[in-house]
Amino acid sequence: MATTLHPIVYWAQTEDNISLKVDLRDTSDPDIDVTAEGLYFKAFGVGAGGLHEYEFQMDFYRNVNPDRSAYRVMDRAVEFNLTKDGPALFWPRLTRDDPKPAWLRIDFDKWKSEDDSDEEDEEAVMKKEQEEQMRQIEKELLETKEQAFADLKTVYLFFFNLLQFIGYAYVVVYLFCRYAFYGKENMKEAFDRAVIPLGICQMFAFLEILHPLIGLVKTGIMAPLMQVVGRNVLLFLVILPNPEVQSDPMVCYLFLVWSSVEVFRYPFYMAGVIDYSSEVLTWLRYTVWIPLYPLGFFSEATVLYLSAPYYEKTQQFSLALPNQYNISMYYPYVIYAYMSTILILAPSLISHMWRQRQRRFRPKKPRTFHVKLN
* Average confidence score pLDDT of the chain: 87
Residue 238 to residue 219: CA distance in whole angstroms: 29
Can 300 be counted among the known catalytic residues? Answer: yes
State the DSSP string of 290-334. Answer: HHHHHHHHHHHHHHHHHHHHHHHHH-TT-B-SS-TT---B-HHHH
Task: Express as a percent the part of the chain with pLDDT over 70.
Answer: 91
pTM of the model: 0.61
Domains in the chain: ranges and CATH: 9-112 (2.60.40.790), 143-360 (no CATH)
> Per-residue pLDDT averaged across 257-262, rounded?
96
Say what the pLDDT of residue 121 is. 53
**Amino acid (one-letter) located at 74:** M
Of 61, 71, 156, 293, catalytic: 293
Q: Is 122 exposed, middle or buried (0-12, 13-18, 19+ CB in 10 A)?
A: middle
Most confident of the ranges 105-114, 120-129, 216-225, 291-300: 291-300
pLDDT for residue 373 is more than 70: no
pLDDT digits (tens, 9 = 90+) for 66-111: 999 999 999 899 999 999 988 878 888 888 887 778 888 888 777 7
Distance (Å) of CA 307 to CA 109, 240, 310 = 87, 11, 6
Residues 268 and 281 sit within 8 Å (Cβ to Cβ): yes
Q: At 2, is the pLDDT very low, low, confident or very high (cuts 50, 70, 90)?
A: low
Can 293 be counted among the known catalytic residues? Answer: yes
Of 10, 54, 286, 300, catalytic: 300
pLDDT digits (tens, 9 = 90+) for 300-351: 999 999 999 999 999 999 988 887 878 889 999 999 999 999 989 899 889 9
pLDDT for residue 374 is more than 70: no
- Check residue 226 and report its DSSP letter: H
